């Protein structure tokens, strides 16, 4: 018998999706970047009516939750992640009436809507910041993180911005520095101030009353800072997980500027509010030890329901790396839950990041199958179901301030944010009747939705079939996870749920056929191969390049 390397914690018995209190454990999330989804008014920028128009497509894909990135009033210096009004829609995207129509249509199709909430910072155009910077003694003077300079005029400590340079910006009105963990136009709020926490809970309630089903909390471990403003120590191991190697941010151990213990109490307040509406939350965690923070933030059923990190959003692609991330989370978690994502609006498209300059088409199917087989709630990024690659955006067309700052060593995030291709033969691939805010690559147009829906072996049709199959496999929805010894690049795992046969799965992450011995396979019932073409002969499993194998074990655990 092969040695099982690790096992996950226990889970509840399988129940029909949407009916148990923790239905989200069985769900699949689909992220929409609204600027790039569908433009209905010809201004080159996607909008809320565009999302509503394509909800049938999303429902047919087979996902359960739609996460919509920010669409709130904003000067768009960071494309909506710099909020100027938490309770209104930016005219670029439509109106509150448009949002209400989106909610109604989504719910009619059985879809849940989750919206982004950027709580750690606002835009410097927010009225709160305008009031705070006017004086040191007004009612909102302590709503943001202000600090006096050192005696030589330099910033109060060594904290760095994720987007480069010092995290402190001098303000000539208050003659103090304010903290910004991201762009200088994104001042950080002071969560040690009770009024700030109350204001954010009020804003969350505004959207819950409009019918949203949950929130994705952006940079959710950035809410609190060390009030004594101690400088961060140098990192023992320089972090390259959340930032580029050309950015000095990873040279510090971020123990004082984020991931502070006070955040746990605030997340409990958020959870109490969500419980009033049976709403769900997922937190984005970018930390020196993201897996530990994910475990802390999802433990005990009184904080976030789910969390995700950048640990599978890195260039490192190996069976060992993926296995280690899941194993370490399972070893640390206390009833919490992960959401595993291999692509989003902040990361190089997974097909290019893990597949190289000319990725094999089969890789996209393998990655979808693998992501849907891990224990946790999968989060898919728009276009991954089409096998879109990273777009090569010339400097003169760049929009992302992150990329403009670090060009050319780091080209920013525009390459993963280009518009969705809907119709191959239409202008801008059917995204807009005007000039798109980012160009649509020709290779993306050739993979448009209308082309793939007509092709039975396309990545899109595969995604639809794989998502439907996952819903029929309770082991994948609720089961524990354990990994087997297997040669690199094979990822071999088992999902077990009481009352069901164990589900055996093997993935070949490499571009060469590989054969390995797996004694459990001798008595296994091989399941449909989904076109991934893995096969077994006795105890021997053969996997073609980017192939996979699924089987039911003869025994149940």
Cβ distance 549 to 534 under 8 Å?
A: yes
Beta pairing, strands 72-73 & 112-117: unpaired
Strands 535-537 and 65-68: unpaired
- 218 tagged catalytic: yes
The residue from 47, 78, 124, 218 that is catalytic is 218
Strand partners, 252: 234
Asked about 296 being catalytic, the answer comes back as: no
Burial class of residue 375, CB neighbours in 10 A (0-12, 13-18, 19+): buried
Q: What beta strand segments (E) does 296-407 contain? A: 306-309, 379-381
Cα separation, 260 vs 287, whole angstroms: 11
327 within 8 A of 335, measured Cβ to Cβ: no
In the block, residue with structure tokens 């433990």: 299
Sign of CA dihedral 61, 494, 319, 11: positive
Instruction: Pick the catalytic residue from 152, 276, 396, 409.
Output: 276
CA angle 213–217–219, rounded 5-degree value: 170
* Rounded distance between C-alpha atoms, residue 286 and residue 433, angstroms: 37
Question: d(Cα 406, Cα 395) in Å, to the nearest integer?
Answer: 11
Which of 126, 130, 144 minimizes the C-alpha distance to 74? 126
Indicate the burial class of 326 (C-beta count within 10 angstroms; 0-12, 13-18, 19 or more): buried
Q: What is the DSSP letter of 409?
A: T
What is the pTM (predicted TM-score) of this model? 0.94
Any idea how long the chain is? 557
Radius of gyration of the chain, Cα coordinates, nearest whole angstrom:
23
Tokens in use for 313?
């959003």
Buried b (16+ CB within 10 A) or exposed e, 65-98: bbbbbbbbbbebbbbbbbbbbbeebbebbbeeeb
Q: What is the pLDDT along the chain (557 residues), one digit of tens a residue?
A: 233 333 333 333 333 344 688 999 999 999 999 999 999 999 999 999 999 999 999 999 999 999 999 999 999 999 999 999 999 999 999 999 999 999 999 999 999 999 999 999 999 999 999 999 999 999 999 999 999 999 999 999 999 999 999 999 999 999 999 999 999 999 999 999 999 999 999 999 999 999 999 999 999 999 999 999 999 999 987 544 544 467 899 999 999 999 999 999 999 999 999 999 999 999 999 999 999 999 999 999 999 999 999 999 999 999 999 999 999 999 988 778 999 999 999 999 999 999 999 999 899 999 999 999 999 999 999 999 999 999 999 999 999 999 999 898 889 999 999 999 999 999 999 999 999 999 999 999 999 999 999 999 999 999 999 999 999 999 999 999 999 999 999 999 999 999 999 999 999 999 999 999 887 766 678 886 677 887 877 778 999 999 999 999 987 65
Query: Per-domain residue ranges for the chain?
Result: 27-124+193-227+260-469
Q: Identify the H or E element spanning 201.
A: helix 194-209
Cα distance between residue 26 and residue 467, in whole Å:
11
CATH 2.60.120.10 fits 27-124+193-227+260-469, yes or no: no
Residue 210: is it exposed, middle or buried by C-beta count within 10 angstroms (0-12/13-18/19+)?
middle
């Amino acid at each position: 018998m092969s040695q099982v390397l690790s096992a996950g914690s226990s889970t509840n018995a399988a129940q029909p999706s949407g009916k148990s209190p923790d239905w989200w454990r069985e769900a699949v999330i689909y992220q929409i970047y609204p600027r790039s989804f569908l433009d209905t008014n010809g201004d080159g920028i996607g909008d809320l009516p565009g999302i509503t128009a394509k909800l049938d497509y999303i429902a047919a894909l087979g996902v359960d939750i739609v996460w919509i990135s920010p669409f709130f009033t904003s000067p768009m210096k960071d494309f909506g992640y710099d909020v100027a009004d938490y309770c209104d829609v930016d005219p670029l995207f439509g109106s509150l009436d448009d949002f209400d129509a989106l909610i109604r249509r989504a719910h009619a199709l059985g879809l849940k809507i989750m919206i982004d909430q950027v709580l750690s910072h606002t835009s410097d155009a927010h009225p709160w910041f305008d009031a705070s910077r006017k004086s040191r003694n007004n009612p909102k003077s302590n709503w943001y993180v202000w600090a006096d300079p050192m005696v030589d005029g330099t910033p109060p400590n060594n904290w760095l911005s994720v987007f480069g340079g010092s995290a402190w910006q001098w303000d000539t009105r208050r003659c103090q520095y304010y903290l910004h963990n991201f762009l200088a136009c994104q001042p950080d709020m002071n969560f040690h101030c009770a009024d700030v926490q109350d204001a954010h809970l009020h804003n969350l309630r505004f959207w819950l009353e409009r019918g949203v089903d949950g929130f994705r909390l952006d940079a959710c471990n950035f809410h609190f800072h060390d009030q004594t403003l101690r400088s961060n120590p140098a990192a023992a191991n320089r972090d390259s997980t959340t930032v580029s190697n050309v950015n000095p941010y990873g040279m510090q151990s971020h123990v004082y500027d984020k991931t502070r213990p006070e955040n746990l109490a605030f997340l409990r307040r958020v959870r109490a509010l969500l419980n009033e509406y049976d709403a769900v939350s997922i937190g984005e965690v970018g930390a020196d030890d993201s897996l530990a923070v994910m475990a802390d933030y999802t433990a005990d059923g009184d904080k976030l329901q789910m969390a995700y990190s950048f640990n599978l959003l890195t260039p490192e692609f190996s069976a060992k790396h993926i296995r280690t991330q899941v194993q370490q989370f399972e070893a640390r978690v206390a009833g919490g839950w992960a959401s595993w994502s291999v692509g989003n609006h902040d990361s190089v498209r997974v097909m290019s990041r893990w597949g190289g300059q000319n990725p094999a088409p089969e890789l996209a199917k393998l990655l979808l199958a693998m992501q849907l087989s891990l224990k946790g709630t999968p989060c898919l990024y728009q276009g991954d179901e089409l096998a879109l690659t990273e777009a090569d955006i010339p400097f003169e067309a760049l929009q992302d301030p992150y990329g403009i700052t670090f060009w050319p060593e780091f080209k920013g995030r525009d390459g993963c944010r280009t518009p969705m291709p809907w119709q191959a033969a239409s202008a801008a691939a059917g995204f807009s009747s005007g000039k798109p805010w980012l160009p649509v690559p020709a290779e993306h147009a050739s993979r448009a939705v209308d082309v793939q829906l007509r092709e039975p072996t396309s990545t899109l049709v595969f995604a639809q079939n794989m998502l439907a199959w996952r819903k029929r496999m309770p082991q994948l929805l609720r089961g524990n996870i354990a990994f087997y010894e297997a040669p690199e690049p094979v990822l071999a795992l088992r999902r077990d749920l009481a009352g069901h046969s164990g589900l055996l799965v093997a993935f070949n992450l490499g571009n060469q056929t590989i054969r390995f011995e797996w004694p459990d396979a001798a008595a296994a019932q091989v399941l449909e191969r989904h076109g991934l073409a893995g096969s077994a002969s006795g105890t021997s499993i053969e996997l073609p390049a980017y192939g996979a194998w699924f089987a039911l074990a003869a025994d149940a655990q």
